[in-house]
Structure 1
Amino acid sequence: MKRRKFVTNSAKVGLALTALGGYACKQAKKEPEKEVAEMGEEETMEPFFKLSLAQWSMHRMIREDGVDPYSFAKKAKAWGFTGLEYVSGLYYKELEEDNFSEAAMKAFIDKSNAEAEKHGMENLLIMIDGQGDLATPDAAERKKAVENHYKWVDAAAAMGCHTIRVNLSGAEEAEEWTNASVDGLTQLATYAKPKNINITVENHGGFSSNGAMLANVMKLVNMDNCGTLPDFGNFCMKWGEWPACDDWYDRYKGMKELMPYAKAVSAKSHDFDENGNEIHSDYVKMLKIVKDAGYKGYIGVEYEGSGISEEEGIIATRDLLIKAGKQV
C-alpha cells in the first residue's frame, strides 16, 4: 500500500515535553528549536508508554521542502520525543547512487548515530520498503528479497535499534501468501536472531491488513524475534480510487489480534476534530487495547494527514496520545 499524499503548510508549533525527557536512553540538555510552551501539573503526568516519532511523518518536508533527513533527531527532540523510527526510503537517493555499498551504508549509520547521540535520542527501529517481496510465491525471488534485507538488519544492529519493520507482499492467494510469508520471515528472522534484531510486520495493505491472517503467520513462524508492528489505521485490505478503500478490516479487532505479537506500535493519524481527537480512530479505545495487552514500550507518532502541516499534525498526534493515555 502506498503511503499517503499530503499538503504541507508552514507551522510555528514546537513543544519540548519535559514529562517525557526521562525516557531517553541518553538524556541531553533540552535545546528546542522553537519556543517551549508552559504546561500545567496535570499535563506533565507520564503515560504508560514512551513516545517515538516515525520519520514518515516528515516525508513531505524531506522530499518536497528539502529538509535534511539527518535533521530527524534534532527535530524529534524539539517536538518532545525521545525515540526515533527511521524510514529507509528517505535515504535511498544517496544510497542507491552508490548501489547500497558498504561504504554508503556505513556513512548512513555513522551520521545517524552521531545525530542521535548529539541530541540524546534513542534509535529504535528502521522501516524498510522497496527491497523485494518477502511473500512472493517464487522461492528464488523470495530468497533474493530476504537477502536484500540483510544490510538493514546489520544497519539496525550497528545503530542500536531493536527492530526492523518489513512488508509482506507478493502472493495474491491467501494460502499461498501465508506459506510464502512464513518462509520469508523465518529466513530473515533466523539471520537477525544472533544480531538481536526483531523482524516485525506492519498491517500495511493486502493480506497483512487482515489481523487474523497476520496473527496466524506469527503463530506459524513461532520465533521470539519475529512479531508485529500494529498500526492504528492501516487496515485497508483493498484500495479503490484513492482515497477510497473498498475493503476495510475492523481496526479494533485487528489491533486486538496483532497486539500479542507486538514489538512496537504505530499511532496513525490523518484528521482531527475541534477537540483534537482523531476522527478515524478512537485513541482511548486503541490505547486500552494496547495497555490490556501488557505493552509498555514506545508508541510511534505517524501523521499522514493533509488538513494541517506535518509539524502541526505531529504535535496534534503527540498531544492526543498523551491526553488519551491518561484515560486508560
Structure 2
Amino acid sequence: AKNEFGISAVEYVNSFFFDKAKNVSYLKEMKTRADDLGVKSLLIMCDNEGNLGDPDSNKRTQAIENHYKWAEAAQYLGCHSIRVNARSFGTYDEQIELATDGLRRLTEFGDTLDINTIVENHGGLSSNGEWLSAVMEKVDHPRVGTLPDFGNFLLEEDVWYDRYKGMKELMPYAKAVSAKSHEFDNNGNETGTDYYKMLKIVLDAGYDGYVGIEYEGTVHSEMEGIRLTLELLKKVRKK
C-alpha cells in the first residue's frame, strides 16, 4: 500500500489471518512492518465469527465472545476499531432488538480495550439505513458506530436500498468509511456510484477520518482497481 500507492493507513481483513488472532509473534511482525513504513493500522474487518443478532441466545453469546480475540488483536496492532456484521433473523423489530443486544455486549467489552465496535452495511437489514440507524440509537454507546460502504446496499437479490439515502442515514454514526468500486468509465468515474455526490454526503456529516478503498470489480486487476479508485478520490477531493 505504501510503496505502490503512497497510502499510509490500512485496514485488515480477519479471513487473511483467521487463525492468527492470538499469535503474538505474528501480530508483532504485522505491527513491526507497519511501524517501520510509518503506516497506521486502522481496524480489523471481522467475518465468519457467528451472528451478533442470532435469535438463539447461546449462539449470540458465542458470536459475541468469538469477537473478543479480534478486539484484543486490534488493540495490540494500534487499531481504533473492529468492523463487525449485525446479521440477525426474524421480523424487522425483532432483528433490531437482537442486533442491539449483541452489539451492546460486544461494544462494552471493546470499551475496556478502548476499541470501537463498528457495523458495516453488509447485506440483509444491515443494508437498510433506517434499520441500522435505529440499532445505533438503541445501543447508544460512544464506542459503537457504523462503517458506511458506498456500494453495499443490496437488501436481497435484485432489491436495492437507495445508496445516497443510506449513506446520509449512516454517516452520523460513522467511525470509518469504505469507498466501494466496481467498474469505471473512460473518464475514470465509477459507473454505479456518483463519487462526487457520495463524498459530499460524507463531508457534510462532518467526517474527517480515513476513506478506505475497496475494489470489487472484474474488469481490472485488484491493484489496478485500487489505483483507479484512489485516482478518482483524489480527483473528487480537488473539486
Report the CA distance between 1:169 and its aligned residue. Answer: 1.2
Q: Deviations over 1:281-302 (max 9, x none)?
A: 0000000000000001100000
Assess if the C-alpha contact under 8 Å between 2:68 and 2:109 holds in 1: yes
Count of matched residue pairs: 239
Aligned-partner SS, 1:228: strand
Matches within 5 A, 1:5-24: none
Assess if the C-alpha contact under 8 Å between 1:129 and 1:166 holds in 2: yes
Q: Given the alignment of the two structures, is residue 119 of structure 1 paired with residue 45 of structure 2, yes or no? A: no
Report the CA distance between 1:172 and its aligned residue. Answer: 3.6
Report the CA distance between 1:101 and its aligned residue. Answer: 7.3
Which of 229, 233, 256 aligns to 2:151? It is 233
Assess if the C-alpha contact under 8 Å between 1:77 and 1:121 holds in 2: no
Structure 1 segments (4+ residues) deviating >3 Å? none
Q: Given the alignment of the two structures, is residue 213 of structure 1 paired with residue 126 of structure 2, yes or no? A: no
Q: Given the alignment of the two structures, is residue 82 of structure 1 paired with residue 82 of structure 2, yes or no? A: no
Which of 185, 192, 195 aligns to 2:103? It is 185
Assess if the C-alpha contact under 8 Å between 1:124 and 1:161 holds in 2: yes
Distance 1:315 1:101, change over 3 A: closer
Q: Provide the residue aligned with 2:61 in structure 1.
A: 143
Aligned-partner SS, 1:154: helix
Which of 164, 169, 176 aligns to 1:257? It is 169
Q: Provide the residue aligned with 1:300 in structure 2.
A: 212
Q: Provide the residue aligned with 2:48 in structure 1.
A: 130
Overall identity of the aligned pairs, in %: 51
Q: Provide the residue aligned with 1:35 in structure 2.
A: none
Q: Given the alignment of the two structures, is residue 201 of structure 1 paired with residue 127 of structure 2, yes or no? A: no
Q: Deviations over 1:44-97 (max 9, x none)?
A: xxxxxxxxxxxxxxxxxxxxxxxxxxxxxxx444212111100000112xx1xx
Which of 17, 37, 40 aligns to 1:91? It is 17
Matches within 5 A, 1:32-43: none
Assess if the C-alpha contact under 8 Å between 2:21 and 2:70 holds in 1: no
Structure 2: segments with no counterpart, 5+ residues: none
Distance 1:110 1:257, change over 3 A: same
What is the aligned-residue RMSD (CA, Å)?
A: 1.1
Deviates more, 1:280-289 or 1:172-181: 172-181
Which of 171, 176, 179 aligns to 1:267? It is 179
Aligned-partner SS, 1:178: helix
Mapped to 2, the partners of 1:79 and 1:132 lie a distance apart of 34
The amino acid across from 1:249 in the alignment is Y
Mapped to 1, the partners of 2:105 and 2:3 lie a distance apart of 36
Mapped to 2, the partners of 1:101 and 1:281 lie a distance apart of 35
Bigger Rg over Cα: 1
Aligned-partner SS, 2:48: coil
Mapped to 1, the partners of 2:61 and 2:217 lie a distance apart of 36
Q: Given the alignment of the two structures, is residue 284 of structure 1 paired with residue 188 of structure 2, yes or no? A: no
